[in-house]
């Protein structure tokens, strides 16, 4: 069967275009991460005040992130939310190397429940979905984890400089591709928050986490790390 001349020409143009884009990426100078903005994330967020909880060096070497931020935020009513942000720049591939599921299992925690939730995020959340009432939302994954009778509620999501509320490898890969093509960067991060479940009150724990998720994601948008070409 003969190929139509027009389709052959289109195929050649596409191949040349892909090659040109790949060549352009190879010639671009590497991007270096400036994580100062992330580390300047406020320690006071609304009714929450935080203390830094440094990671052990052995854990940092396993995570291999460009920047790690871990804090314990305490609400005025006494509830504690633990925040972890692992940032991976464009040169590191933009995608965290360890998922929460793997990490919890490796530390002896059982995942007893899991679901996907929507967080009301305000009007400025990047990549969040709009609704008829003008509010915005983004998705999070939720785990209930248990170890020796202790239960914690966990919510996590992935975000980049252009989008938030990503849950899996496919939407992360698409976001990195679009970011590389449109903005020249394909960085990303894992955002994880958790809180103990006291007296089995899952509803109360979830209420605090959803409120905190909306606040911290908006602040992360304002404090997203910079990436600059090496040598500048």
Per-residue pLDDT tens over the stretch 104-115: 998 999 999 999
Find tokens 């195929």 and name the residue: 11
Say yes or no to pLDDT of 183 above 50: yes
Residue 135 in any domain: the answer is yes
62-81: average pLDDT: 93
Say yes or no to pLDDT of 77 above 80: yes
Q: How far apart are CA 105 and CA 45, in angstroms?
A: 31
Under the banding of pLDDT at 50, 70 and 90, the label for residue 134 is very low
Long-range Cβ contacts of 13-21 (<8 Å, 24+ apart): 21/181
Q: How far apart are CA 11 and CA 9, in angstroms?
A: 5
Structural domain for 198, as ranges:
32-229
Residue 27 in any domain: the answer is no
Under the banding of pLDDT at 50, 70 and 90, the label for residue 156 is very high
Residue 225 in any domain: the answer is yes
H/E stretch holding 193 reads strand 188-196
Name 99's Cβ contacts closer than 8 Å, sequence gap at least 6. 190
Q: How far apart are CA 1 and CA 184, in angstroms?
A: 41
Any idea what DSSP says for residue 196? Answer: E
Mean pLDDT of the chain: 84
Name the region of 39 (left: φ>0; alpha: ψ -120 to 50; beta: rest). alpha
- pLDDT value for 230: 67
Residue 15 in any domain: the answer is no
Number of domains in the chain: 1
137-151: average pLDDT: 95
**Residue 217 CB neighbours (<10 A):** 23
Please name which of 220, 221, 186 lies closest in space to residue 30, comparing C-alpha atoms: 186
28 or 156, greater pLDDT:
156
- pLDDT value for 22: 45
Under the banding of pLDDT at 50, 70 and 90, the label for residue 24 is very low
Under the banding of pLDDT at 50, 70 and 90, the label for residue 44 is very high
94 or 225, greater pLDDT:
225
- pLDDT value for 199: 85
Max Cα separation, the chain? 74
Cβ 153 vs Cβ 195: under 8 Å: yes
**Residue 89 CB neighbours (<10 A):** 24
CA angle 177, 181, 184 (to 5 degrees): 105
Name 130's Cβ contacts closer than 8 Å, sequence gap at least 6. 136
**Residue 69 CB neighbours (<10 A):** 21
Name 33's Cβ contacts closer than 8 Å, sequence gap at least 6. 66, 67, 87, 89, 91, 187, 225, 226, 227
Residue 176 in any domain: the answer is yes
Residue 113 in any domain: the answer is yes
Residue 49 in any domain: the answer is yes
25-33: average pLDDT: 64
Under the banding of pLDDT at 50, 70 and 90, the label for residue 92 is confident
- pLDDT value for 17: 45
Residue 218 in any domain: the answer is yes
């Amino acid at each position: 069967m003969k190929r139509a001349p027009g389709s052959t020409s289109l195929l050649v143009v596409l191949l040349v275009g892909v090659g040109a884009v790949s060549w352009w990426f190879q010639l671009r100078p590497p991007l270096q991460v400036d994580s100062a903005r992330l580390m300047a994330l406020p320690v006071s967020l609304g009714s929450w005040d935080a203390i830094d909880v440094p990671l052990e060096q052995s854990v940092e070497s396993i995570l291999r992130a460009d920047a790690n931020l871990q804090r314990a935020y305490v609400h005025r009513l006494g509830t504690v939310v633990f925040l972890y942000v692992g940032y991976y720049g464009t040169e590191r591939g933009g995608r965290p190397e360890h998922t929460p599921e793997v990490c919890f299992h490796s530390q002896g925690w059982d995942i007893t429940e899991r679901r996907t939730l929507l967080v009301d995020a305000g009007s400025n959340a990047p990549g969040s979905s709009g609704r008829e009432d003008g509010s915005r939302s983004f998705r999070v994954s939720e785990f209930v984890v248990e170890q020796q009778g202790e239960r914690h509620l966990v919510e996590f999501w992935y975000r980049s400089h252009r989008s938030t509320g990503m849950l899996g490898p496919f939407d992360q890969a698409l976001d990195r591709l679009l970011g590389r093509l449109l903005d020249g960067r394909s960085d990303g991060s894992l955002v994880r928050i958790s809180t103990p479940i006291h007296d089995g009150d899952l509803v109360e724990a979830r209420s605090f986490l959803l409120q905190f998720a909306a606040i911290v994601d908006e602040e992360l948008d304002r404090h997203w790390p910079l990436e600059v070409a090496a040598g500048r």
